[in-house]
């Protein structure tokens, strides 16, 4: 098959492109390169475009027909929670129009399988500590999460009239690195943000230590990006089945780790004697979000292989392998 990956030059997308190549699949990538780099897709053909722009649906249909695409993995979206609170209309325009154009391209070209990069942000502040996929109500508390939930609804609505097979993967907190050259290129996720502050000799920031959690910091389910990439391969195989009981799956470990525990793990792995600073809470952050991964394990046979120590160590190895990011541990000192 030929798989089209939107956002394939980004952090998660590039890991999935790598996993697809490892599985022997042919891959084409669509990316606007706002965060990714074209060197990360291992020779896949790249189409540079903004999938949220007017006319993108028709252009995607042309690409899918020309490349013989039968499957799409859709990552390309804006994903910063705080930014979505500040710029809600832009997030609706980008993420909802992007999904609309992907589905239009699939409808017009005849591509039938869609794996959608959804999010645990769809759950908002759930009424349980470990969240199953069918928890109710689902009330995302920020525009980012709203766009992801609406994206699931859009894809589901296209199944019957257009014959599109849809699977949504609700990620929890993705971190770590596979091959070191696939390091997270954007300083948007917690661990790269911690490393970036250390590179500058500054105190890493914890946003809020007064949440109703054991140590006052947000608790999340951290999933290794290589585990997540494997889940996408499993999801494509799942869509080959005629009988599919579910169309959304959590991708997590079922284990919670606080932000402060991540900071402590960074101290251990890096050997840097830093002290952190506590900043005000960020808008739109729920205190506690852990995923029940029973469904994906039962239905697809997938389970996470890596733990938090593996995640932080792999992220640090990739950071140190990048000459632009490398920190000389022997001479490092904190300046604030």
Radius of gyration of the chain (CA): 19
CA gap 12, 35 in Å, rounded: 11
CB 217 within 8 A of CB 258: yes
CB 151 within 8 A of CB 110: no
Catalytic option among 35, 123, 144, 238: 144
Q: How far is CA 203 from CA 196, 261, 268, in A?
A: 10, 16, 16
Burial 199-226 (b: 16+ CB within 10 A, else e): eeeebbbbbbbebebeebbbbbbbbbbb
CA gap 47, 63 in Å, rounded: 8
Pairing of strands 257-258, 219-220: antiparallel
Distance of CA 142 to the CA centre of its chain: 16
Has 144 been annotated as catalytic? yes
Contacts of residue 165, Cβ cutoff 8 Å, sequence gap at least 6: 112, 113, 114, 159, 239, 244
160 phi, psi to nearest 5 deg: -70, -50
CA gap 303, 126 in Å, rounded: 23
Contacts of residue 273, Cβ cutoff 8 Å, sequence gap at least 6: 267, 334
Give the 3-state DSSP-derived string for 171-211, with helices as H, strands as E and coil as C: ECEEECCCCHHHCCCCCCCHHHHHHHHHHCCCCCEEECCCC
Burial 250-271 (b: 16+ CB within 10 A, else e): bbbbbbbbbbbbbbebbbebbe
137 preceded by a cis bond (ω within 30 of 0): yes
Q: Quick one: DSSP state of residue 117?
A: E
Active site (catalytic) residues = 144
């Amino acid at each position: 098959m030929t798989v089209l990956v939107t956002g394939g030059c980004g952090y998660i997308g590039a890991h999935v492109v790598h996993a697809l190549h490892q599985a022997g699949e042919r891959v084409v990538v669509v990316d606007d390169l706002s965060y990714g780099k074209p060197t990360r897709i291992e020779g896949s053909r790249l189409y540079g475009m903004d999938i949220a722009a007017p006319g993108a649906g028709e252009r995607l249909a042309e690409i899918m027909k020309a490349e013989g695409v039968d499957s799409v993995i859709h990552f390309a979206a804006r994903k910063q929670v705080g930014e979505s609170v500040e710029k809600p209309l832009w997030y609706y325009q980008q993420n909802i129009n992007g999904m609309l154009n992907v589905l239009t391209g699939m409808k017009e070209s005849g591509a039938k399988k869609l794996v959608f990069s959804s999010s645990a942000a769809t759950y908002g502040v759930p009424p349980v500590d470990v969240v199953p996929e069918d928890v109710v109500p689902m009330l995302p508390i920020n525009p980012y999460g709203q766009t992801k939930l609406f994206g699931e609804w859009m894809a589901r609505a296209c199944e019957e009239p257009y014959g599109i097979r849809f699977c949504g993967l609700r990620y929890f907190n993705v971190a770590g690195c596979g091959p070191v050259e696939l390091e997270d290129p954007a300083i948007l996720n917690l661990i790269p943000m911690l490393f970036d502050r250390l590179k500058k000799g500054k105190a890493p920031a914890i946003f809020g230590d007064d949440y109703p959690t054991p140590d006052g910091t947000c608790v999340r389910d951290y999933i290794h990006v290589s585990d997540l990439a494997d889940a996408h391969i499993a999801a494509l195989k799942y869509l080959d089945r005629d009988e599919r009981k579910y169309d959304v799956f959590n991708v997590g470990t079922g284990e919670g780790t606080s932000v402060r525990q991540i900071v402590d793990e960074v101290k251990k792995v890096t050997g840097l004697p830093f002290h952190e600073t506590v900043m005000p809470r960020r808008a739109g952050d729920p205190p506690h979000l852990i995923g029940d991964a029973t469904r994906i394990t039962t239905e697809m046979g997938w389970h996470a292989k890596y733990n938090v120590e593996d995640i932080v160590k792999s992220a640090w190895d990739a950071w140190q392998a990048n000459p632009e990011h490398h920190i000389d541990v022997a001479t490092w000192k904190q300046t604030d």
